Amino acid sequence: MQIIRDPDALDEALAALREGGGTIAFVPTMGALHAGHMALIAEARLRASHVVASIFVNPTQFAANEDLDSYPRREAGDAAMLEAEGCAILWAPDLATMYPDGAQASLRAPAVAEGLDGAARPGHFDGVATVVARLFAQVRPDVALFGEKDYQQLAVIRRLVCDLGLPVEIVGVPTQRDADGLALSSRNAYLSDEERAAARALPRALGEAAQAIAEGAPVGDALDKARARLAAAGFDPIDYVALHDAETLAPMAALDRPARLLAAARIGRTRLIDNLPVAPA
């Protein structure tokens, strides 16, 4: 696997991969890789001739009070994981490469970014849209893969690609979970043993709410019970527990079409997100 930091070297390496009709699947990451990322790489291998991954901790998607400085960075270990999974290129640009000469141009995220994390983290999805557009321009992939754990992010990127007419297929890969049900996340490393045990309440509360809604329980009642269970487990604050349209992310008061049950809450200093599909009978 090649580790590349220079844009000209990236262009040369990508051209070599494309010789003879080779195609490229792209997995953008912020590093601190885990089995969830490896599932993206495995799916990427099935979708194209070659896999390119990137590691860039993007400052424009962090608010001033968030964890940019403490976000885990371990490139050597990440690179070894990517190489073992058959990745051809690791694109690892620095800040000056991604935002040359203090570049200030940015994209405004589409309307699907409003609400949920868009409300809880103002400006976050503008930063996501901007960095993903820049990465797509650099790598020019045929297909790009994103995890469904960050479901609103996936919806934002799909809409961004559609609105800008970008020639890349976006593929969502189901959330990967540990044996206790907790969704895999780089931020799980922040959890103490006690917090980790309590955090299992998040997927369990969502699972119970999703089942109740699917069986016909009033949506509001099911959401209230999920919030109460999270509060009892020690989550504070609870940013949201909500049912939204699976495609548009419009809020839903009744289950009359495919939906997504989404939640975000903090336990200790760690903010966790999760979501589950909910389908009408």
Residues 6+ apart with CB under 8 A from 106: 60, 126, 127, 129, 130
Q: Rounded mean pLDDT of the chain? A: 96
Q: What is the pLDDT of residue 261?
A: 98
Quote the tokens at residue 55.
């590691």
What whole-number distance in Å separates Cα of residue 41 and Cα of residue 197? 29
37 is catalytic: yes
pLDDT, residue 70, reads 86
The whole-number average pLDDT for the span 119-131 is: 95
> Would the pLDDT of 2 be above 70?
yes
Q: Averaged over 183-208, what is the pLDDT?
A: 96
What percentage of the chain carries pLDDT values higher than 70?
Answer: 99
Residues 81-108 have a mean pLDDT of 91
What is the mean predicted confidence (pLDDT) over 204-209?
A: 98
What percentage of the chain carries pLDDT values higher than 90? 93
| Average of per-residue pLDDT across 80-106 | 91
CA-to-CA distance for 103 and 109, rounded, in angstroms? 18
pLDDT at residue 270 in the model: 96
Q: How do strand 143-147 and strand 24-29 relate by DSSP bridges? A: parallel
Catalytic residue from among 37, 50, 124, 244: 37
> Is 32 a residue whose pLDDT tops 90?
yes
The DSSP-derived string for 114-178 is SSTHHHHSTTHHHHHHHHHHHHHHHH--SEEEEEGGGHHHHHHHHHHHHHHT-S-EEEEEPPPB-
CA atoms within 13 A on the CB side of 254: 1
Q: How confident is the model at residue 103 (pLDDT cuts 50, 70, 90)?
A: low
- Per-residue pLDDT of 236-268, as tens digits, reads 999 999 999 999 999 999 999 999 999 999 999
pLDDT surpassing 90 at residue 172: yes
Report pLDDT digits (tens) over 36-71: 999 999 999 999 999 999 999 999 999 888 998 989
Confidence at 277, pLDDT banded by 50, 70, 90:
very high
pLDDT at 106 over 90: no
The domain spans of the chain are: 2-173, 186-273
Model's pTM, two decimal places?
0.95
CATH number of 186-273: 3.30.1300.10
Architecture of domain 2-173: 3-Layer(aba) Sandwich (3.40)
